[in-house]
Amino acid sequence: EDMPLDYSKWDHLEDDEDEVVAPRQLTPERQANHDQSLALIAEWVREADPRLSADELTLLIGFIASQHHGIHPDNLKRHMEIAAFMEKAAAQGKEPSLHALLALTSLCKIRADQADADADTAGQASRMLGVATGALN
């Protein structure tokens, strides 16, 4: 006779995405870094998908900003902002361009892997790849 499987070990599985981490302070320096990062992401998105309209670019950058850990004090607030962003976009009949986000991810991967890339560009590409793949998740 087969013994029933015991799945109780999965009852208390923790996911760091669900944790409320220690609150982070939003300092002027942190906000400035966040703004610079978004400007760079916008520049790379335009390069990755030049067909994107200004409105579509703004929507995609807003989505990336809402899901990124950057300026949120904790994961709970970040999750709430993502939900609010998507609800507002859906109410307006819009959604962020998955095609443009995939194109950005591809561009970042190419630049991060380029042997002749300078260290700054490769580092930016690697960090941006993390942000873009985070947005895909």
Domain boundaries, the chain: 27-136
- Spatial distance between the Cα atoms of 24 and 26, rounded to a whole number of angstroms: 6
C-alpha torsion 60→40→113→134, nearest 10: -40
The pLDDT of residue 31 is above 90: no
Q: pLDDT tens digit string along 64-116?
A: 988 877 666 777 888 888 899 999 999 999 999 999 999 999 999 999 988 77
Task: Tell me the mean pLDDT in the region 126-130.
Answer: 91
Alpha helices in 68-118 (DSSP H): 75-91, 98-113
Count CA within 13 A, CB hemisphere, residue 121. 11
